[in-house]
């Protein structure tokens, strides 16, 4: 499927440095109906998963593929299956990340595996990320990326019913929300803003809501419901696509004294993402 064995990418690393500027955080705050002024000054504490606004790949326009992603190869293996998605992550928080800090992110390809599923051949790539501020480890993540072919007809996964929850927050979906999040994360994937491409090429029924947007919403409302507690770890996994024409809720329930289970769900009360927050 590639011109050289993809196993050659195992252990590949890249390191990026960036100052955690106020602008991206203020943009996401505005998108989530928070106060952008809360993130205007150096030293303002960032919610830890907001690091996804930083260390972004900035490929020149001539290096962009037909789907809007950077062309295959480079740091990630050049798997030729047409559809690429962020399937889930497992994150641990060690130290606050703050506006104005200079931080270093190191990424390494930890695992590449091939599987056969209902949709045909699948490749899973697990990438490990660490962020340091000076010598101190602030953040760890294992990110799962899945590659697959585009099916001729969209068939959603088998539905998973929303379990009983003790709280719920409704999220208004529309193309503007998806566009703003794509812009904030420099994500050119056309399934999130180009309806003709999403429906005519990738055969989705509408614009696709980003997985990391759902994860950030799950994290945000989980923290809101446990105000005063400090998150120690967060994990999430995509379960079912959700689209701009649908409704979305973020729901949760306390699992035990240290954990909260969180679910995003569509209008049919089918789970679209499941997550868990562990509290310090």
Q: The CATH number of the domain where 52 resides is what?
A: 3.10.129.10
* Tokens read off for 154: 């969209």
Burial category of 219 from C-beta neighbours within 10 Å (exposed 0-12, middle 13-18, buried 19 and up): buried
Answer yes or no: do 58 and 177 share one domain: no
- For the chain, how big is the Rg over CA atoms in Å? 18
pLDDT digits (tens, 9 = 90+) for 148-163: 999 889 988 899 999 9
Instruction: Write down which residue in 149, 180, 214 finishes a domain.
Output: 149
What predicted TM-score, i.e. pTM, was given to this entire model?
Answer: 0.94
The 3-class secondary structure across 156-173, one letter per residue, is CCCCCECCCCCEEEEECC
* Number of domains composing the chain: 2
Listed residue (96, 116, 109, 113) closest to 143, CA to CA: 109
Domain that holds residue 80: 1-149
Q: For 58-67, what is each residue's pLDDT tens digit?
A: 878 888 888 8
- Tell me the percentage of the chain whose pLDDT exceeds 90: 79
Is the same domain home to 117 and 248? no
Q: What's the DSSP call for residue 200? A: H
Same domain? For 49 and 178 the reply is no
Q: CA 272 to CA 247: how far, in whole Å?
A: 11
Classify 277 as helix, strand or coil.
Answer: strand
How far apart CA 58 and CA 64 sit, in angstroms, is: 10
Strand partners, 70: 64
């Amino acid at each position: 499927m590639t011109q050289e064995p993809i196993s050659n990418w195992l252990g590949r690393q890249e390191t990026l440095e960036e100052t955690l500027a106020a602008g991206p955080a203020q943009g996401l705050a505005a998108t989530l109906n928070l106060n952008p002024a809360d993130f205007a000054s150096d030293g303002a504490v960032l919610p830890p998963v907001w690091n996804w606004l930083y260390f972004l790949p900035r490929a020149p326009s001539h290096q962009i593929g037909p789907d809007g992603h950077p062309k295959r190869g480079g740091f990630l293996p050049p798997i030729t299956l047409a559809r690429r998605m962020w399937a889930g992550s497992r994150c641990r928080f060690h130290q606050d990340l703050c506006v104005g800090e200079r931080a270093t992110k190191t990424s390494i390809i930890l695992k590449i595996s091939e599987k056969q599923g209902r949709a045909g051949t699948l490749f899973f790539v697990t990438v490990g990320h660490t962020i340091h501020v000076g010598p101190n480890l602030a953040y760890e993540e294992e990110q799962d990326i899945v590659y697959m072919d585009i099916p001729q007809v969209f068939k959603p996964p088998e539905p998973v019913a929303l379990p009983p929850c003790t709280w719920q927050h409704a999220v208004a979906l529309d193309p503007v929300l998806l566009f703003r999040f794509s812009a904030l994360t420099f994500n050119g994937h056309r399934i999130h803003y180009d309806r003709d491409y999403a429906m005519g090429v990738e055969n989705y029924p509408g614009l696709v809501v980003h997985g990391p947007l759902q994860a950030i919403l799950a994290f945000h409302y989980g923290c809101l419901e446990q105000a005063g507690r400090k998150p120690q770890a967060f994990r999430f996994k995509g379960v079912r696509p959700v689209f701009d024409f649908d409704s979305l809720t973020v729901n949760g329930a306390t699992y035990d004294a240290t954990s909260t289970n969180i679910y995003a769900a569509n209008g049919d009360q089918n789970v679209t993402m499941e997550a868990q927050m562990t509290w310090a």
